[in-house]
Amino acid sequence: LPLSERALISTIAKAASAARQRQNLSPKDRKPSLIAGIGDDCAVLRLPAHRDLLVTTDFSLEGVHFRRDWHPPESVGHRCLARGLSDIAAMGGEPNAVFLSLALPAKLQQAWVDAFLRRLLRLAKRFGVTLAGGDTAQSPAGVLADIAVLGSVPKGKAVLRSGARPGDLIYVTGALGGSAAALEMLYSKHKLDPRNFSQHFYPEPRVVVGKFLRENNIPSSMIDVSDGLSTDISHLCQESGVGAEIWRDVIPRAKIGKKQVEPRLALHGGEDYELLFTASPGKRVPSKIGEVTVTCIGKITRVKRMFISDKNGRLSLLRADGWEHFRKPSAK
Ligand SMILES: [Mg+2]
């Protein structure tokens, strides 16, 4: 069935209002509350006086961020929102609302859109996020989704990239390289069962961990690992005006089945959506937050360059060689 825009808007509005009704609303004074949503010209949000608003936007483009022959619609919907939630997590924030703009090819099956939305809304519900608006249009080429996620933190408490100081230790949550390992397999024509490669198809944004870290005043700086460890640590160093020394052998590597991924994938592969943060050496950093492990992988240096150590402790220069390096120019 070809999609009319009107049908799509009503599908989104229906799905969103059902999701909103199911949602347990938290105390009004803690979060921005939605006064008007889909069905009006603008969404109206009321922000409590003692909160700062966080806003992040992310494209999910067919052929760039996903392929319809590789990624089921459920995965595309999940990843689309997970990227935005991960950015909110990286600030230590709590997500509140999502806006979704979708451009769809005329020939796209309704079932694809339904599955995309269902899974996106399932993730939204799990994090107490309301679909508060969006736009739809017909796309001349492929599925194009753009989301804006709004979140909030107590005033002045957002964890920035710029707070790392020489001597701080560098930590990462979870394990790295799982998403890139799956992507490499897709590129080499493997058929993958998404359930066995959830780090790639259904990454878990670390919202709870980010909030815990911020509430306990642990991080001096934080970023999410979206472009790859080497690239994301370089962003953090640049914003903080410092350098870093990374200890290669302690970088937690994801497992595919029983096998750990190659070190290069953990070091440079992107889209793991783990949190990378620094903390002053005096801070007590738990080795686990809920089910999520936290690993110390290096330290911040005054010298504004990045080094990586081998197993003999010898240092060599580390280049930011992240995600873009993996991504082929045209996937479709
Ligand atoms: Mg980010």
Least reliable range by pLDDT among 9-13, 47-51, 89-93, 173-177? 9-13
Distance 241 CA to ligand 1 centre (A): 18
pLDDT of residue 20: 58
Please say whether the beta carbons of 270 and 180 come within 8 A: yes
| Alpha carbon of 231 to ligand 1 centroid (Å) | 11
Looking at 14-28, 53-67, 139-153, 183-197, which range is the least confident one?
14-28
147 Cα to the center of ligand 1, angstroms? 14
Q: How far, in Å, from the CA of 102 to the mean position of ligand 1?
A: 21
The whole-number average pLDDT for the span 37-44 is 78
**Residue appearing with tokens 């970088």:** 251
Q: What pLDDT is recorded for position 244?
A: 98
Question: What is the H or E stretch that residue 263 is in?
Answer: helix 263-268
In the predicted structure, residue 329 carries a pLDDT above the cut 60: no
pLDDT tens, position by position, 183-231: 999 999 889 999 999 999 999 999 999 999 999 999 999 999 999 999 9
Q: Which two tokens stand for residue 113?
A: 């859109």
Instruction: Show the 3-state SS of 18-76.
Output: HHHHHCCCCCCCCCCEEEECECECCCEEECCCCEEEEEEEEEEEECCCECCCCCCHHHH
Neighbours of ion ligand 1 (CB under 5 A): 87, 224, 226
| pLDDT tens, residue by residue, 252-282 | 999 998 999 999 999 999 999 999 999 999 9
**Mean of all residue pLDDT scores within the chain:** 89
How far away, in angstroms, is 222 Cα from ligand 1 center? 9
Taking the C-alpha atoms of residue 298 and residue 296, their distance in angstroms, rounded to an integer, is: 6
Q: How far apart are CA 43 and CA 5, in angstroms?
A: 19
Which residue has better confidence, 3 or 152? 152
C-alpha 271 – ligand 1 centre gap (Å): 10
The Å distance, Cα 188 to ligand 1 centre, comes to 28
Amino acid at 79: R
Cα 310 to Cα 263: distance, rounded to the nearest angstrom: 11
248 phi and psi angles, rounded to 5 deg = -50, -45
Ligand 1 centre and the CA of 135: distance in Å?
Answer: 24
Residue 250 in this model has a pLDDT that exceeds 60: yes
pLDDT at 163: 97
In DSSP terms, 291 is beta-bridged to none
Task: Using pLDDT thresholds of 50, 70 and 90, give the confidence band for residue 325.
Answer: very low
What is the CA(280)–ligand 1 centre distance, in A? 22
- The rounded Å distance from CA 71 to ligand 1 centre is 22
Range of lowest pLDDT (75-84, 276-285, 310-319): 310-319
SS3 233: helix
- How many whole angstroms separate alpha carbon 193 and alpha carbon 219? 36
pLDDT at residue 127 in the model: 96
Ligand 1 midpoint to CA 275 (Å): 9
Give distance in angstroms: CA of 169 to centre of ligand 1: 20
190 C-alpha to ligand 1 centroid (Å): 29
The Å distance, Cα 83 to ligand 1 centre, comes to 8
- Amino acid at residue number 119: R
Q: How far apart are the CA of 267 and the centre of ligand 1, in A?
A: 17
Distances (CA, A) of 268 to 3, 87, 119, 170, 228: 40, 19, 28, 16, 5
Whole-number pLDDT of residue 19: 56
* 3-class secondary-structure state, position 200: helix
pLDDT for 34 equals 72
| Burial bucket for residue 243 (CB in 10 Å: 0-12, 13-18, 19+) | buried
**Per-residue model confidence (pLDDT) at position 320:** 86
CA of residue 172 to ligand 1 center, whole Å: 14
Closest CA to 104 of 183, 8, 23, 172: 8
> Residue 210 Cα, ligand 1 centroid: separation in angstroms?
12
- Structure confidence at residue 209 (pLDDT): 98
Cα(294)–Cα(193) distance, integer angstroms = 28
- Cβ neighbours of 161 (radius 10 Å): 20
What's this model's pTM, rounded to 2 decimal places?
0.90
Give the angle subtended at the CA of 311 by the CAs of 305 and 315, to the nearest 5°. Answer: 20
